[in-house]
Amino acid sequence: MAGAYKIALRAEPQAVHVEDPITLVIRITGDGPPEHQPKRALLRLFPARMQDDFIIQPLPEKDRRLPGENAWEFAYRLQPKHERVTAIPGLKLVYYRPAFGKYVTTYASGIDIKVTPRPQVLPPPEVVAPVTAPPSFYELAPMGQAGDRRLDGLIVAAVLLLTPPLLAIGWRRWKHGNGVRVEQQKRSQAARHALRELDAVNDLETVVAVVNAYLRQRLNVPMAEPAPSELERILARGGVSKALRRRVVEFARACDALRFAGNASPNGTPSREAMQLIQALEAEPCLR
């Protein structure tokens, strides 16, 4: 800029709230060579510290050139950042004065302004439409009864997984135990039957037949009339004590001797001896 100029400021309004806009008009009057007259692009008027107090925005659409008054007006929007701002500071214009052959500075006075805090803006009262819903929406689910259904599912799955093997094993065990019981009943029935028959007869052939039938049922003797040696082996395999085995074998040999000697009706009492042997066998732990 070159020539002779003066600078002045005008602000409107001068009482604002924080961040409310103030229009600042900078008026430069004077004259100079046309190519060095004031231009917005060349103006460097605002000191850097003003940025602490104001938001400054140019308003080029409000700039005016007033040829009749030899004036230029440049408009700016200032927004005070806080309520401690009390004035728009004065500005200085530096330009070259050809008549003096040097740069000169001219000043514009500051403008007092009043900045107040922004009034608190209350939101408009909210209009809320009532929500309508079925009764189940207005009830809280009882937390005590609310378990994780996944856990329930896992428990059910575990029960379903374990029940079949437990039932199967139980059934097999029960069936096995039942079979043993039936076998025992069958055997004790064999003893009772034999003792009853022996009580009624004293005929050697009959006694031998009854004893052999008893042994067949009780010890699963495979043959009708085992030889004494075979009988001892079977009794040993069945776990019968050695002394009792010997008694049984001696009884069988004695019966064979009497039968093959042709003395089928001995003076002794083979039936009583047979009954004692059967009772002794029934008392054996291995046959209980």
Partner 1 sequence: MPALSVALTALPVLLGASLASAEASFHAGVASGDPAAARKHFIAAGNDFDQLLAHRHQQSPALYRNLGNARFLAGQLPQALAAFRQGLLLAPDDAVLRKNLEFARSRVEYPPGARPPANVWPKWLFANLLLGAALLAHALGWLAWTKRRHGWMWFAFALAALLAIAWGVKKVHDLRSDTFVVIAKDDVPLRRGNGDEYPTPPDAPTLARGMEARLLSRRGDWLQIRLCSGQVGWVQNRTALVEWKAEH
- Give the residue with the Cβ less far from partner 1, 155 or 283: 155
Contact 9, 111 (CB under 8 A): yes
Q: How far is the CB of 168 from partner 1 (least distance, A)?
A: 4
Q: Which 134-173 positions form the footprint of partner 1 (CB under 8 A)?
A: 134, 136-143, 145-150, 157, 160-161, 163-165, 167-168, 171-172
- Give the residue with the Cβ less far from partner 1, 129 or 180: 129
Which pair of structure tokens corresponds to residue 281? 């066998």
What character string, x for contact with partner 1 (CB under 8 A) and - otherwise, covers 184-203?
A: --------------------
Give the total of residues touching partner 1 (CB under 8 A). Answer: 33
From the list 24, 31, 29, the residue with the least C-alpha distance to 9 is 24
From the list 104, 99, 28, 39, the residue with the least C-alpha distance to 70 is 28
Terminal C-alpha separation, the chain? 135
Q: How far apart are CA 270 and CA 273, in angstroms?
A: 5
Q: How far is the CB of 158 from partner 1 (least distance, A)?
A: 11
Residue 176, phi then psi, degrees to nearest 5: -65, -50
Contact 57, 77 (CB under 8 A): yes
Q: How far is the CB of 187 from partner 1 (least distance, A)?
A: 25
Chain-centroid distance, C-alpha 206: 81
- Give the residue with the Cβ less far from partner 1, 105 or 145: 145
Angle between helices 204-219 and 228-237 (to 10 degrees): 30
Q: How far is the CB of 179 from partner 1 (least distance, A)?
A: 14
Residue 86, phi then psi, degrees to nearest 5: -115, -15
The stretch near partner 1 (CB under 8 A) out of 29-37, 120-128, 193-201, 232-240 is: 120-128
Q: How far apart are CA 159 and CA 51, in angstroms?
A: 78
Q: How far is the CB of 156 from partner 1 (least distance, A)?
A: 10
Q: How far is the CB of 155 from partner 1 (least distance, A)?
A: 13
- Give the residue with the Cβ less far from partner 1, 121 or 131: 131
What character string, x for contact with partner 1 (CB under 8 A) and - otherwise, covers 224-263?
A: ----------------------------------------
Q: How far is the CB of 165 from partner 1 (least distance, A)?
A: 5
Answer yes or no whether residue 117 interacts with partner 1 by CB under 8 A: no
Element (H, E) at 55: strand 54-58
Tokens 């060095």 found at? 36
Residue ranges binding partner 1 (CB under 8 A) = 125-131, 133-134, 136-143, 145-150, 157, 160-161, 163-165, 167-168, 171-172
